[in-house]
Amino acid sequence: MMPSTRRLRRRRRTQVDAGAVPTGAPPRAVAAALTSLLATLAVPVCAPAFLPPFAGTDDDRISQWAFDLLEALPNAHYNAFVYVLALLREVLAKSWQTTAATRLASVARDAFLPDGEAEADARDHIFAAVRFLLTSNL
């Protein structure tokens, strides 16, 4: 690999790690592209095998379930979940339109656990957990 290629790759990696995505696209477009890609993975980010036992979806139970989910995800799945969540929080914070956390949670749920991959209760829990994590001050 040429030195200039290494430098460019290192610079891009640093930009991405710092949240400075090197594109002219708005965060919303980057989020849409990323969630579309994740929805096509052979093993979903939140595959049913990784999900902790279901609790209710009230605020107290879902907050604990969300943290249990983060602990249960394998490393690569955890990283994808956290990176997408961080990107969606950025979209929520910098949205020019009124982008509700509920809408973003729905988009994330469909990316993390596509329809038909699990029963409705699993999708409801993923939705509630993402909405909680998007709106909480962690």
Q: What is the predicted pLDDT for the residue at 117?
A: 76
9 lies in some domain: no
Does 1 map to a domain?
Answer: no
The whole-angstrom separation of Cα 70 and Cα 112 is 13
Report the half-sphere exposure of 77 (CA within 13 A, side-chain side): 21
In a domain, residue 110? The reply is: yes
Residue 14 located in a structural domain: no
Q: How far apart are CA 126 and CA 123, in angstroms?
A: 5
Shortest CA distance to 65 belongs to which of 77, 51, 76?
A: 51
Structural domains counted in the chain? 1
| Residue 13 belongs to a domain | no
CATH of the domain at 49: 1.10.555.10
- Give residue-wise pLDDT tens across range 26-36: 766 777 787 78
At which residue do the structure tokens 């949670």 appear? 105
Domain that holds residue 117: 23-135
Asked whether the predicted pLDDT for residue 1 surpasses 60, the reply is no
Check residues 114 and 73 and name the one with the higher pLDDT. Answer: 73
> Which amino acid belongs to residue 4?
S
Q: What are the tens digits of pLDDT across the range 65-112?
A: 999 999 999 999 999 999 889 888 887 887 655 568 888 888 889 889
Classify residue 17: in a domain, yes or no.
no
DSSP H helical ranges for the chain: 3-17, 27-39, 59-72, 75-94, 101-112, 120-135
